[in-house]
Amino acid sequence: MADYKAPLREMNFLLHEVFAADELWARLPGLAGAVDRETADAILEEMAKLAANTLDPINRSGDEEGCQWNDGVVTTPEGFKEAYATFCEGGWGALLGNPEYGGMGMPKMLGAQVEEMINAANISFALYPVLTAGACLALDAHGSEELKQKYLPKMYEGTWSGAMDLTEPHAGTDLGIIRTKAEPQEDGSYTITGSKIFITGGDQDLSENIIHLVLAKLPDAPKGPKGISLFLVPKFLVNEDGSVGERNAVNCGSIEHKMGIKASATCAMNFDGAKGWLVGEVNKGLAAMFTMMNYERLGVGIQGLGASERSYQNALDYARERIQSRSPAGPQQADKAADPITVHPDVRRMLLTQKALIGGARALSTYVAQWLDIAKFGEGEEKKNAEAMVALLTPVAKAFFTDMGLDCTVIGQQVFGGHGYIREWGQEQLVRDVRITQIYEGTNGIQALDLVGRKTVANGGAFFNLFADDVQAFIDAHIDHEPLAEFVQPLAEELQRLRDVTARMIEAAREDPHASGAASVEYLHLFGYVAYAFMWAKAAAAALPKVEQDSFYKGQVKTARFYYQRLLTRTRALAASVDAGSHSLMDIEEELL
Amino acid sequence: MADYKAPLREMNFLLHEVFAADELWARLPGLAGAVDRETADAILEEMAKLAANTLDPINRSGDEEGCQWNDGVVTTPEGFKEAYATFCEGGWGALLGNPEYGGMGMPKMLGAQVEEMINAANISFALYPVLTAGACLALDAHGSEELKQKYLPKMYEGTWSGAMDLTEPHAGTDLGIIRTKAEPQEDGSYTITGSKIFITGGDQDLSENIIHLVLAKLPDAPKGPKGISLFLVPKFLVNEDGSVGERNAVNCGSIEHKMGIKASATCAMNFDGAKGWLVGEVNKGLAAMFTMMNYERLGVGIQGLGASERSYQNALDYARERIQSRSPAGPQQADKAADPITVHPDVRRMLLTQKALIGGARALSTYVAQWLDIAKFGEGEEKKNAEAMVALLTPVAKAFFTDMGLDCTVIGQQVFGGHGYIREWGQEQLVRDVRITQIYEGTNGIQALDLVGRKTVANGGAFFNLFADDVQAFIDAHIDHEPLAEFVQPLAEELQRLRDVTARMIEAAREDPHASGAASVEYLHLFGYVAYAFMWAKAAAAALPKVEQDSFYKGQVKTARFYYQRLLTRTRALAASVDAGSHSLMDIEEELL
């Protein structure tokens, strides 16, 4: 397996040449002075080293060894403890944290690139700090001042980690039917009782304490999603002086045996009258959870991107070394027994498909992160619009990056032929690891329903129009620039197609309760391909003036061309499926399925 | 996990109502009298029991335990030995074998259905007899009378098994560069020396002897594929009286640790001056291998189909039990906490996608098997045309069934949400197991090159025209039948699209050596979707007159409708990608990939 090399050149290109991140940072109140291009580049370079030298080397061994459960105690694979310590010493857990409690307050545009590297090197490892960061976000947004002061600094340090306890055996997508109970105590705390499953990092041996954020119901809570509250339940109670005290009644009953991410402990957790504290308001637990969902869901999308990049690097390396058969145009290396397989059009198709989908995802994640930063640090109308953009684009990023993540890792495995199927080359692990990203944090089917239902149909396309306007503005600005016509003209057609399909879909939802659900997954993919087309057009626009300067730019333009000619064609199939409506799905009797 | 139930109703429908197999059998010389509907049904029912009661129960335990290698000896998982004995006692290894040497001489149309059941229940197990059957085919077609009499009866019995030794570490797709040597001896035998990898069933503890068919080169052989010969190399030499004698110098050096099919031993084999006998003519080993390839490759396609069916049965069972959220049209089971997830359009989309792709594959495998039978048992022009149809359709069946097999098993896993990712439900194993089918027996990229290059461009579309004529004949016969218009009219359009794309692709290949390779994979998929459309139209035509009789037929028509409305749309994207040509692939410099 090739060593992981962080794609710093691509990241820099996007941040500074495509999105002019430092201009944005310089004008946003909370970021001005805190981060500039130099700081950003230094941070990226540091993570590139950590990813390559510390996280990547324990990825395969972690998969082989897996986590172990013994009598309630979870042990992570060899090397994870040390790597986690190194990660925390570098301050990486605090990168995006609130500076009031010890965070560094960096922008998500930078954080997104950092996350890609961590995930490319080791998804299982990444999950431990990622869940902690998610818990910190929820706590920072909804916790009392007392809770924040007590927990956030240690969690940013990584000394304590976080876990999110939502799912129960009978309740995954439908959290309204959870059964975990919270009973109020006289001291203002609550007693939590119930069982949770699929809890990432629910127990482990990396951190001194584990802070669970748990969804539960008060005895008198209304039925359904409006009766859910959020509680902080530490593994060890925390003393007044901030030191770790006695063990709380939270226990890991078992860990799951899974297809992949085997070095990430997926725990069944039992709360047997554990002591907890309310986070946010009573019965508003789901809303509190969802404030951090946009970050988390983009983060899961980025896992798909990271795995794709890793698979691509391996595949490219292998394809260059592997000699097999001759070029259709005649021998290219006549002195050798055969040519390297990169001479074959179909091998190029595979590698370029990976490269184009990765570039599209990386650009779109940067674009979404930009809106997250404006939503967090901006003001007024700009902030409001950014929030809408984030709401719209988050389900696309989560589901499309991860669906393409599976495709990319499968392609990367295919390049290896039989060698891709055996464990030693690492390509099959990436397929197994990335597969979970389509499922957790809301399945991709649920993401699609969110995009179509709440984010599009519910507001009559208002959020969609903001996005379409942004694409249109790009088209208008470049439509007369002849060298870009091969991208801008088809982009205009694709945008029109997406507008039309969106309008018809909104219309159909008025009369048919099944219309949105029937259209959802294909619509999300259609949206994703158009969004990537927008990204590749932006990349081409930034690269085109410099193609003589550096072959990197030529590579960007040619990859954009491949994307437009070979992958963007998929939109016409997707649009036709969306337009087909719900009839063929709903007309068939349940017993005939 | 749901118990496996063989889809006998669907198989019967295809054999007897769609393809009128017994009419064909009654008129083909070698089959008349040997097989009729009653015999066929009895055989299918027997295998349904064997698959459910013997093979399915050791599928998951086989995956957990895997094969073990100790000091050159391979041990299969618990229960495999007993299951193999039961399989052999039932005479299943002889089903399609040559009656002159103890085979039953049954048609492939029946064999294809039998294979589906074996593979649905246990792909790892299936590989042992499948490889034996392949070796028997090659031996029967090319071996000397002496070799056939000595080996075939025991191999049909399963007392001895077969293995195919082709790949070497540096030579997979490109067998022309293999290094294994064969030196002629005075007694007419050969001494074989070299190393092979990825040898399925190269060693195991199921059979008393293992008969290797090995590709090797004579000292004076020409370079490349025209210098390869085929040899029979038994693990144990066979005495004059047919008993097993001394050990031959063939050894298993190790087994691979793989993503899936863990109960199938994938062996590295060392031949250290092993004794072997020539099969067929000197330097014509590749051609001898390829005579059995059509059977083997259809068989691999059927593995994709079997895994899909298994995944679909599990997913449907789970979806009916799992209650989560409410129908978009309001509660359907108001007395319960939520509705079963089959009320959701997107869950139906997933299940119907599986059902439609499975039905398409099962019909097309039956169709290809029909041509295999005519090619084997038929005469004259009919036989010649059947051979051409087999040649054309085999790469489609192998690659399209298995590509769709991955899609189907991934969908079946997705229906389970998080539960699909953990091992206990079995859905993730099917994804891991089926993944190999896209790789071995010629990667799907190689299948696509074969379809486009040798099978289409090389003969100017002559084979393609035979297929197109068959579709056209169906269209012509049904075009005036109004109730079928929803299928026949779009089928006519799709056929025209495929004809046009094929013509342009043949034309492009004249001027551009990269055109075929650039078009190949998308062209194969385009072909596959149109072929499934043909199959679903045939199924609808057979079912439509009987929809009032039995709800099964209604299910067939409605699934056909779903296929036409929601999946067949994909052809327009694929056609556009094929038409895009090779430029965007070949224009990019290798170092910019």
3-state secondary structure B127-163: HHHHHHHHHHHHHHHHCCHHHHHHHHHHHHHCCEEEE
Of A344, A352, A592, the CB nearest to B554: A592
Looking at residue B479, the DSSP 8-state letter turns out to be T
User: How many CB atoms are closer than 10 A to CB A12?
Assistant: 17
Contact in structure between B117 and B90 (CB atoms under 8 Å): no
CA distance B570 to chain A (A): 5
CA distance A586 to chain B (A): 7
Measured between beta carbons, the chain A residues lying within 8 angstroms of B517 are 328, 344-346
How far is A425 from A310, CA to CA, in rounded Å? 12
Contact in structure between B578 and B519 (CB atoms under 8 Å): yes
- Partner-chain contact B418 A347, CB within 8 Å: no
Of B260, B414, B580, the CB nearest to A566: B580
User: How many CB atoms are closer than 10 A to CB A65?
Assistant: 17
Q: Is A185 exposed, middle or buried (CB count within 10 Å of its CB: 0-12, 13-18, 19+)?
A: exposed
Cα–chain-centroid distance for residue A286? 20
Measured between beta carbons, the chain B residues lying within 8 angstroms of A329 are 513-514
Nearest residue of B to residue A523 by CA position? B346
Residue with token string 């019909």 = B363
How far is A249 from B138, CA to CA, in rounded Å? 66
- Partner-chain contact A558 B171, CB within 8 Å: no
Best of B254, B521, B584 to mutate (most A CBs within 10 Å, chain A):
B584
Instruction: Name the band, by pLDDT with cuts 50, 70 and 90, for residue A64.
Output: very high
Measured between beta carbons, the chain A residues lying within 8 angstroms of B344 are 517
- Partner-chain contact B565 A583, CB within 8 Å: yes
ipTM of the complex: 0.97
The mean pLDDT value of chain A amounts to 97
- Partner-chain contact B583 A565, CB within 8 Å: yes
- Partner-chain contact A337 B177, CB within 8 Å: yes
How far is A439 from B419, CA to CA, in rounded Å? 9
- Partner-chain contact B257 A562, CB within 8 Å: no
pLDDT digits (tens, 9 = 90+) for A168-222: 999 888 999 999 999 999 999 999 999 999 999 999 999 999 999 999 999 999 9
CA distance A496 to chain B (A): 17
Nearest residue of B to residue A422 by CA position? B258
Instruction: Name the band, by pLDDT with cuts 50, 70 and 90, for residue B258.
Output: very high
pLDDT digits (tens, 9 = 90+) for B446-497: 999 999 999 999 999 999 999 999 999 999 999 999 999 999 999 999 999 9
User: How many CB atoms are closer than 10 A to CB A511?
Assistant: 7
Nearest residue of B to residue A325 by CA position? B174
CA distance B152 to chain A (A): 30
How far is B508 from B514, CA to CA, in rounded Å? 9
Of A324, A551, A593, the CB nearest to B592: A551
Instruction: Name the band, by pLDDT with cuts 50, 70 and 90, for residue A543.
Output: very high
pLDDT digits (tens, 9 = 90+) for A499-508: 999 999 999 9
Looking at residue A422, the DSSP 8-state letter turns out to be B
Nearest residue of B to residue A168 by CA position? B418
How many residues does the structure list for chain A? 593
In a domain, A487, yes or no: yes
Of A420, A574, A592, the CB nearest to B558: A592
Instruction: Name the band, by pLDDT with cuts 50, 70 and 90, for residue A39.
Output: very high
Residue with token string 């690269």 = A543
Instruction: Name the band, by pLDDT with cuts 50, 70 and 90, for residue A264.
Output: very high
Instruction: Name the band, by pLDDT with cuts 50, 70 and 90, for residue A292.
Output: confident
- Partner-chain contact A435 B349, CB within 8 Å: no
pLDDT digits (tens, 9 = 90+) for B283-307: 999 999 887 787 889 999 999 999 9
* CA neighbours closer than 13 Å in the CB half-sphere of residue A397: 31
Contact in structure between A332 and A349 (CB atoms under 8 Å): no
- Partner-chain contact B338 A587, CB within 8 Å: no
- Partner-chain contact A328 B444, CB within 8 Å: no
From residue B379, alpha-carbon distances to A317, B28, B375, B383 in Å are 51, 9, 8, 5
In a domain, A510, yes or no: yes
pLDDT digits (tens, 9 = 90+) for A464-477: 999 999 999 999 99
Residue B122 has pLDDT above 90, yes or no: yes
Measured between beta carbons, the chain A residues lying within 8 angstroms of B198 are 418
In a domain, A162, yes or no: no
How far is B1 from B317, CA to CA, in rounded Å? 8
> Where on the phi/psi map is residue B583: left (φ > 0), alpha (ψ -120 to 50), or beta?
alpha
Contact in structure between B294 and B278 (CB atoms under 8 Å): no
Domain containing B462: what range?
Answer: 452-593
- Partner-chain contact B586 A348, CB within 8 Å: yes
pLDDT digits (tens, 9 = 90+) for B29-68: 999 999 999 999 999 999 999 999 999 999 999 999 999 9
CA distance A328 to chain B (A): 6
Nearest residue of B to residue A578 by CA position? B566
Question: What is the structure's pLDDT at A295?
Answer: 83
Question: What is the structure's pLDDT at A172?
Answer: 87
How far is B514 from A7, CA to CA, in rounded Å? 30
Percentage of residues of chain B with pLDDT beyond 90: 96
Give chain A's count of helices (H) and strands (E).
Answer: 20, 11
In a domain, A520, yes or no: yes
pLDDT digits (tens, 9 = 90+) for A402-439: 999 999 999 999 999 999 999 999 999 999 999 999 99
Catalytic one among A309, A441, A494, A522? A441
CB pairs under 8 A between A and B: 272
- Partner-chain contact A414 B439, CB within 8 Å: yes
Average pLDDT, stretch A147-168?
Answer: 97
How far is B591 from B593, CA to CA, in rounded Å? 6
Residue with token string 């069982």 = A195
Amino acid (1-letter code) at residue B153: P
pLDDT digits (tens, 9 = 90+) for B64-112: 999 999 999 999 999 999 999 999 999 999 999 999 999 999 999 999 9
The 3-state secondary structure of B508-540, one letter per residue: HHHHCCCHHHHHHHHHHHHHHHHHHHHHHHHHH
Question: What is the structure's pLDDT at B517?
Answer: 97
Collapse the DSSP code of B490 into the 3-class scheme (helix H, G, I; strand E, B; otherwise coil) and give the result: helix
Of B349, B432, B584, the CB nearest to A566: B584
Of A440, A518, A565, the CB nearest to B349: A518
- Partner-chain contact B348 A593, CB within 8 Å: yes
| Domain total of chain B | 1
- Partner-chain contact B439 A449, CB within 8 Å: no
In a domain, A61, yes or no: no
Question: What is the structure's pLDDT at B106?
Answer: 97
Measured between beta carbons, the chain B residues lying within 8 angstroms of A345 are 514, 517-518, 520, 582, 585-586
Residue A1 has pLDDT above 80, yes or no: no
How far is B248 from B274, CA to CA, in rounded Å? 6
Of B170, B414, B439, the CB nearest to A420: B439
Best of B303, B349, B415 to mutate (most A CBs within 10 Å, chain A):
B349
Hey, what are A81's tokens?
């403890």
How far is A65 from A61, CA to CA, in rounded Å? 6
If you compute the radius of gyration of chain A from its CA atoms, what whole number of angstroms results?
A: 24
Looking at residue A417, the DSSP 8-state letter turns out to be G
Measured between beta carbons, the chain A residues lying within 8 angstroms of B266 are 422
- Partner-chain contact B198 A435, CB within 8 Å: no
Residue with token string 């010890």 = A102
The mean pLDDT value of chain B amounts to 97
Q: CA torsion angle for B354, B355, B357, B358 (degrees, to 10)?
A: 110
In a domain, B533, yes or no: yes
Give helix A515-543 / helix A380-415 axis angle, nearest 10°. 90
Contact in structure between B115 and B306 (CB atoms under 8 Å): yes
Question: What is the structure's pLDDT at B64?
Answer: 97
Lowest-pLDDT choice from A77-91, B321-335, B532-546: B321-335
From residue A291, alpha-carbon distances to A97, A354, A365, B135 in Å are 15, 32, 18, 61
Residue A291 has pLDDT above 90, yes or no: no
Average pLDDT, stretch A544-560?
Answer: 97
Nearest residue of B to residue A562 by CA position? B584
Instruction: Supply the residues of B annotated as catalytic.
Output: 441
Residue A290 has pLDDT above 90, yes or no: no
Nearest residue of B to residue A453 by CA position? B328
Looking at residue A454, the DSSP 8-state letter turns out to be I
Give chain B's count of helices (H) and strands (E).
Answer: 20, 11
Instruction: Name the band, by pLDDT with cuts 50, 70 and 90, for residue B113.
Output: very high
In a domain, A574, yes or no: yes
Nearest residue of A to residue B344 by CA position? A517
From residue A123, alpha-carbon distances to A62, A117, A118, A438 in Å are 10, 10, 7, 14
Cα–chain-centroid distance for residue B435? 13
Question: What is the structure's pLDDT at B318?
Answer: 97
Nearest residue of B to residue A403 by CA position? B410
How many residues does the structure list for chain B? 593
Hey, what are A489's tokens?
């003209």
Best of B326, B501, B585, B591 to mutate (most A CBs within 10 Å, chain A):
B585
Q: Is the dihedral of CA B575, B578, B583, B584 positive or negative?
A: positive
Of A173, A422, A565, the CB nearest to B257: A422
Contact in structure between B136 and B101 (CB atoms under 8 Å): no
Residue B128 has pLDDT above 90, yes or no: yes
Average pLDDT, stretch A25-51?
Answer: 96
Percentage of residues of chain A with pLDDT beyond 90: 96
Hey, what are A588's tokens?
């068939």
Residue B379 has pLDDT above 80, yes or no: yes
Phi, psi of B588 (to 5 degrees): -85, 135
Measured between beta carbons, the chain B residues lying within 8 angstroms of A551 are 589, 591-592
CA distance B346 to chain A (A): 6
How far is A536 from A563, CA to CA, in rounded Å? 8
Beta bridge partners of A211: A162, A234
